[in-house]
Structure 1
Amino acid sequence: MNIVVISSNSVYKELFDKSNDVNTVLLWDSIKPATIEIDAILIDGEIFDTDQFQLVRENYPQIPVFYKPRPIHSDLIMRDISRLCGAYKIKPLNEHATTRQIVEELINQITNKQDYLSKRIVSFFGTHSGAGVSTTVQNVGRALSGMIHEKVLVLSLNSWDPSDYFYHYKGEYLNDLKVDLKTLNLTPARLAEAVSSEQPFYHLAGNRDIKMQRFYQPTEIEHLIEVAKQLFDVILIDAGTHFDTAPTVQSYLSSNLRFLVTNQEEKGYRGYFPHVFHQLIEPSGGKSNDFMLIINKFQPANTMISEKALEEELNMTKAATLPDMGDLGAMAAFQKKLLYDMSSDSIYTKNLDRLSNLIISECKLTEKDTHQEDKKDKRGIFSIFKS
């Protein structure tokens, strides 16, 4: 495969050169005739304006073309760029993606391979604040870790919610690692020291520094996830609802199994999330079927929206329905216990187990013997390094 990269960033060429699927990479600063047969073109918006799209198609009418916009932080401008790309049959890429992710996405699309995407990173998003993303992720982590041999990390990447209140958390926080992330010097040993191991799963709580909420960069979160992959077998990400922040966007880009958590509040499924989807996700090439739906705190009342109607409203396939546990949920929060441990053999735990089965199948994880006694593993921090 021969690739043309129109950019001043030589890192693109270096990354493409490392791929066994790429034969030749040409780094250009403008459109020009090619002396070899070209299979795809990557255009960097940092040096290439959209008004040159016509010139691209005049020279290369049939070749797949990908466009990486420069970070513009405007949903209206991004929407117009997406429309221009559609007019010239150019594939827009996410403006917040790192160079490595751009290269992987292009190779993945041209070769139809999935090898470049992690199979064991699962992200959970919410239709709105209060949908129950953090509660769901924590309890899925509890259910899943009890069913498999692999090490599970719950990674809280919601910049507005550290999710440290479900049990007596004793680890560090995302903002405590900011310097390591900014310098790209986070090591597995440092991450092992930071995570909590008080539950059957490991957990890194999210940001609790209000001043840092919008100051995490795409490369920092990408670095964190890459280091976490060296330590843990499966990573469950609490990505929150803010698709205009680097932690949430990187959670979306880094995973190929994504869940959207909602409830029966109209402000989420009909108010906030549709705007997020049409203004931020769809212009970058995202689709509603990128997500599977989790309905949280469901109440089967005639006066409230039904499960089927929620699927149709959001145009997603339902993965699980978690019932409203009423006072038991409040008791679990007060006692600093996970709801999964307080609702044994309930519909809630059974549906969480089914959701875990889906993750086990998708991520090809190794299940424990069903007759094995459920033991609470009081592990030391550095047991993470043991296979």
Structure 2
Amino acid sequence: MNIGFIGNDQELCRQLRQASQTEGVFSTQETNDMELILDTLKTCKLILISDRLVQPHELESLKELFLGKAELVYLISYKADTPVIEETKLVCMRHGIGICHPKRTVEQLVEFIQQQYLGGGAPVSKQGGQVIALVGTRGQTGVTATTFSLADEIGRRMGRKVAVIGLDAFSPGDTFITYAGSYLNDLYTQIKDGGILTPAELVTHMHQAKNFAFLAGNMDITKRYRYSSESVAHVIACAREVFDVVLLDAGSNPDNNLCLQALLHADMRVVVTTQQPAALTNWHRYIPLFRMVSSESMSFMLLINKWSKQWGDTKEIERSMAVPLLGWLPDLKDDGMLCEMERRLLTTVDHSKYTEQLKQMVDLLQSRFKWPAQEETPARKWRFGRRATS
């Protein structure tokens, strides 16, 4: 199939040309001859349109120009104003023009186009370890502490090589551990736009705990909004290659690209909430954003943290959020604060219900990802990086 591209992304054109289903890719940036551009585009069966060159109000004219000759797809770039994106989608729907949602890397764009328009068949399976992203309904829901607990339990019981990657733009997540690694912002130049960081180098930058490795998140306030989709994708891809299981601490701000890319790249997404009314209300405010950036509905599992029976049943929260329950963890009260002050994991607390519920959730994850059980397996030695510490 011949593909036309009304836009300026040379890398997108290059990767499309490498796709087995394409015969040729023509970009309008290759010539200034408008007559030649129009004649060439009329030979294409699929035309991709960048919103950086074509405004929504111009789409109707393009549709009329290529009516019956080609299928049109509008590539929407990210805009902070959610209504603008929703209105753009309505314009496309009105004119029968396909859409590609924002916040996609070039690789994700090419995969989407292959699957949706080039008869690519089943989605390409992701190579390497499984990625699980945890996101909070608001701050202080305990995403970081819960991520550490899951990582510690998976590494200890399942014999998996586990990583935790901090992708919270507003907190590095280095509490509960006496941290001895690099921070995400330290790697900024190495991961920028896809970068040069290798999987082996990533490990050398990570703190090595007893049962998992950890790369702390961003601690540079000037870089909170500067991480590109490609740079985040590169870090996750490096972690996938080295580790069996990668847990992403995505924080609680899905309007930030670090958090958003964690959700887009995950094989499984877990939303962490408390029973606070504000936390539950905030979840419903996130849903329009998820719909805006994903061509398909994002699926989540629910983890209720700091649960207390006096504030209601878990089923009530499950119904309110319309998210199936993965499990819950009890409120550790003063023990949780003590762990943070002493920089130790919540799994060190002698609390039978916490241990029981954590075990049940890891058992479910084992079933989901078909991990072989290795009860009480000693922590695996690392091939790269610093010596393991408690």
Q: TM-score range by the shorter chain?
A: 0.7 to 0.9
Partner of 1:269: 280
The change in CA–CA distance for 1:175 and 1:383 in structure 2 (over 3 A counts) is closer
Partner of 1:209: 220
Report which of the two structures shows the higher radius of gyration computed on alpha carbons: 2
Pairing 1:325–2:332 present: yes
TM-score by length of 1: 0.85
Q: CA deviation at 1:164?
A: 0.8
The change in CA–CA distance for 1:229 and 1:88 in structure 2 (over 3 A counts) is same
**Superposed counterparts of 1:332-371, under 5 Å:** 332-343=339-350, 346-365=352-371, 367-370=372-375
Q: Structure 1: give runs of 5+ residues left out of the alignment.
A: none
TM-score by length of 2: 0.85
Q: Is the 8 A contact 2:200 2:242 kept in 1?
A: no
State the one-letter code of the partner of 1:369: Q
Partner of 1:375: 378
Mapped to 2, the partners of 1:190 and 1:61 lie a distance apart of 51
Partner of 1:234: 245
Q: Is the 8 A contact 1:188 1:227 kept in 2?
A: yes
**Superposed counterparts of 1:296-335, under 5 Å:** 296-301=305-310, 304-335=311-342
The change in CA–CA distance for 1:194 and 1:355 in structure 2 (over 3 A counts) is same
Partner of 1:246: 257
Aligned match for 1:255, one of 266, 279, 293: 266
Mapped to 1, the partners of 2:314 and 2:113 lie a distance apart of 36
State the one-letter code of the partner of 2:43: T
3-state DSSP of counterpart to 1:216: coil
Partner of 2:53: 47
3-state DSSP of counterpart to 2:158: coil
State the one-letter code of the partner of 2:240: K
Deviations 1:34-86 (A, max 9, x none): 436x3x54332222222233345443569765432233322231222233233
Partner of 1:12: 12
3-state DSSP of counterpart to 2:207: coil
Partner of 2:167: 157
The change in CA–CA distance for 1:362 and 1:70 in structure 2 (over 3 A counts) is same
Q: CA deviation at 1:138?
A: 0.9
Q: Is the 8 A contact 2:272 2:303 kept in 1?
A: yes
Q: CA deviation at 1:195?
A: 0.3
Q: CA deviation at 1:316?
A: 1.5
Q: CA deviation at 1:237?
A: 0.4
Q: Which moved more, 1:1-10 or 1:334-343?
A: 1-10
Q: Which moved more, 1:97-106 or 1:256-265?
A: 97-106
Mapped to 2, the partners of 1:5 and 1:159 lie a distance apart of 34
Partner of 2:43: 35
The change in CA–CA distance for 1:81 and 1:165 in structure 2 (over 3 A counts) is same
3-state DSSP of counterpart to 1:168: coil
Q: Is the 8 A contact 2:50 2:74 kept in 1?
A: yes
Partner of 1:284: 293
State the one-letter code of the partner of 1:338: L
Aligned match for 2:302, one of 293, 296, 301: 293
Q: Is the 8 A contact 2:150 2:362 kept in 1?
A: yes
Partner of 2:134: 124
Deviations 1:348-385 (A, max 9, x none): 223323322333344443x2433xx443556574499x
Q: Is the 8 A contact 2:165 2:214 kept in 1?
A: yes
State the one-letter code of the partner of 1:316: V
The change in CA–CA distance for 1:287 and 1:261 in structure 2 (over 3 A counts) is farther
Q: What is the aligned residue count?
A: 373
What is the aligned-residue RMSD (CA, Å)? 2.8
The change in CA–CA distance for 1:106 and 1:353 in structure 2 (over 3 A counts) is farther
Mapped to 1, the partners of 2:110 and 2:350 lie a distance apart of 45
Q: Structure 2: give runs of 5+ residues left out of the alignment.
A: 29-36
Q: Is the 8 A contact 2:77 2:101 kept in 1?
A: no
Mapped to 1, the partners of 2:137 and 2:38 lie a distance apart of 42
Mapped to 2, the partners of 1:357 and 1:4 lie a distance apart of 49
Q: Is the 8 A contact 1:82 1:283 kept in 2?
A: no
State the one-letter code of the partner of 1:312: R
The change in CA–CA distance for 1:60 and 1:137 in structure 2 (over 3 A counts) is farther
Mapped to 2, the partners of 1:348 and 1:213 lie a distance apart of 33
Deviations 1:106-139 (A, max 9, x none): 3244535232556711111111111111111111
The change in CA–CA distance for 1:259 and 1:60 in structure 2 (over 3 A counts) is farther
Q: Is the 8 A contact 2:227 2:257 kept in 1?
A: yes
Q: CA deviation at 1:286?
A: 6.0
Mapped to 2, the partners of 1:375 and 1:236 lie a distance apart of 20
Mapped to 1, the partners of 2:70 and 2:325 lie a distance apart of 37
